Amino acid sequence: MLSLLAREFNVILWKELLDLSRDYRIIVAVVALPLVSLPSLALLVGFLAASQSVSVLILVEDERAAGIAAELSKLVEEKMGRLGVKANITLSSTAGPPADVRVVIPHGFYDNLTRLDGQAVVVISRLVGSPASDIAYRAVLEALYDVSVTIVDERVRSLARMANATVDSRALRNPILVATGYHLAGGAPAGEAQAEAAFTARVLQFSLFFVAYPAIVFMSDAIVGERERRTIEKLLATPISRVSILAGKMAAAATLGLLAAVADSIALLAFFYLALGSLRVSLATALAWAISAITTIAVTTAIAAIIASRSETVRAAQVTSTVVVVVAMAVYFSALVVDLSKLPPWISLALHLIPFTHSALIVYWASLGDMNGLLRHVIILLLYQLLLTYVSIKAFNSERIILIR
């Protein structure tokens, strides 16, 4: 009996994969496009950011502060260079041209700065709605901080001389030295590598969102699309069992969904790597992601099969399935910015009723090395999969599929 079902399943899977593989546009759209587009997007954004010319005007009203202004200009240029942005800095004693950021060094600046207890004022004005002005503003603030540090050190040395004392200006500036480390949920110490791995896991959790949509598209097409193309009734009239037909279609949709998911995840990791410069994927996290992706695809195809069996058209099936995608997106996006394990019990309970929450938590616990947490959510997700597959088999009824209007 099982070997017969397996044989039937293989025949349907072969036909479905053959049919899907000939749909070149779909393959390109869901597999090749993300692999090319996301890293390209990161490179493009980086290139455009580096290509923009950011202008800073340093307006020196206090003639005596010209030297400090020149030093400030050098520091701003250096900071922006480090960000990969070309700086166009103008030092002027008159109004000067419009700029993304205008720094005014007013009269009395030099006196206040060189007095032992003086407080000098700098007026900064930023261009509204300009990302370039944000970059320049950050660079100016950092440069001013560096200048302030130099001034403070000088003042400390003067005071020390007056008091005939030895003072460490760094200790005076920073009376509290912060040493930051990491630890795991159980309290054990962790390193920078583990912190990076945990961040990567969050990216991978988010990438699971891309698992849901292709699986829904393929599954809707496999059932409602076949009905629309007038091919399903003949198939249903063959001796092959409904379970084999549905299982073969689900497996084909899941296979392509998984391919799309792998492509999307690689593309997303490449995007973040190119944008942030550091990502770390451990073998355990990669395995957990694979388990999570496979079970999530199985759950999603089962949900899509239930919806497709009750939908009149592919469009109707996909529109209804959008609800599922939105729920998945909500969970996976939350996983990127919220710690799902630290929510109040009632929110946590509601979230745990959603299968996608468990797929996100599988990757989360794996990244922390908590195998118990990982296993718990794998088992819950597998139970969801069994339940939804059972419901989808019940919903895959030839009368409903043939007669639905």
Partner 1 sequence: MKQAIIAEGVSKRIRGRVVLENVTLNVPEGRVYVLAGPNGSGKTTTIRILLGLIRRDSGRVEVLGRDPEMEGDVVREYIGYLPEDAQPYERLTGLEHIMFYAKLYSKSSNVDIMVSRAIEISGLSLQDLRLKAGTYSRGMKRRLLLALTLMHHPRIAVLDEPLSGLDVVSSYRVKRLIKSMAGSGATFLITTHDMRDAEEIADVVGLIVNGRIVAEGSPRELVELTGSESLEEAYVKLVGERV
Q: Which residues of this chain interact with partner 1, rule CB under 8 A?
A: 4, 7-8, 11, 14-15, 18-19, 22-23, 229-231, 233-234, 236-241, 398-399, 402-403, 405
Provide the token pair at 24: 């070149």
CB atoms within 10 A of CB 127: 16
Judged by beta carbon, residue 13 or residue 381, the one nearer partner 1 is: 13
What three-state secondary structure class fits 54?
strand
Output the smallest distance, CB 13 to partner 1, in A.
11
| CA 82 to chain CA mean position, Å | 24
Output the smallest distance, CB 241 to partner 1, in A.
6
Judged by beta carbon, residue 237 or residue 387, the one nearer partner 1 is: 237
404 phi, psi to nearest 5 deg: -60, 140
Residues 6+ positions from 402 with CB-CB distance below 8 Å: 227, 232, 233, 236
Are the CB atoms for 216 and 222 separated by under 8 Å?
no
Judged by beta carbon, residue 8 or residue 100, the one nearer partner 1 is: 8
Comparing CA positions, the residue from 154, 179, 183 lying closest to residue 169 is 154
Output the smallest distance, CB 14 to partner 1, in A.
8
What is the rounded (10 degree) CA torsion for 144, 121, 153, 134? Answer: -10
Output the smallest distance, CB 312 to partner 1, in A.
13
Judged by beta carbon, residue 20 or residue 152, the one nearer partner 1 is: 20
Judged by beta carbon, residue 15 or residue 126, the one nearer partner 1 is: 15
Give the span between the Cα atoms of 16 and 327, in whole angstroms: 28
Output the smallest distance, CB 7 to partner 1, in A.
8
Residues 6+ positions from 181 with CB-CB distance below 8 Å: 189, 190
207 phi, psi to nearest 5 deg: -65, -20
Output the smallest distance, CB 226 to partner 1, in A.
9
Output the smallest distance, CB 236 to partner 1, in A.
6
Output the smallest distance, CB 338 to partner 1, in A.
43
Judged by beta carbon, residue 350 or residue 402, the one nearer partner 1 is: 402
Judged by beta carbon, residue 85 or residue 223, the one nearer partner 1 is: 223
Judged by beta carbon, residue 152 or residue 316, the one nearer partner 1 is: 316
Are the CB atoms for 103 and 122 separated by under 8 Å?
yes
Output the smallest distance, CB 22 to partner 1, in A.
4
C-alpha distance from residue 45 to each of 33, 133, 204, 279, 299 (Å):
17, 17, 21, 19, 35
Judged by beta carbon, residue 30 or residue 381, the one nearer partner 1 is: 30
**Residue 178 burial by CB count (10 A; 0-12/13-18/19+): exposed, middle or buried?**
exposed
What three-state secondary structure class fits 236?
helix
Half-sphere exposure of residue 320: CA atoms within 13 angstroms, side-chain side: 19
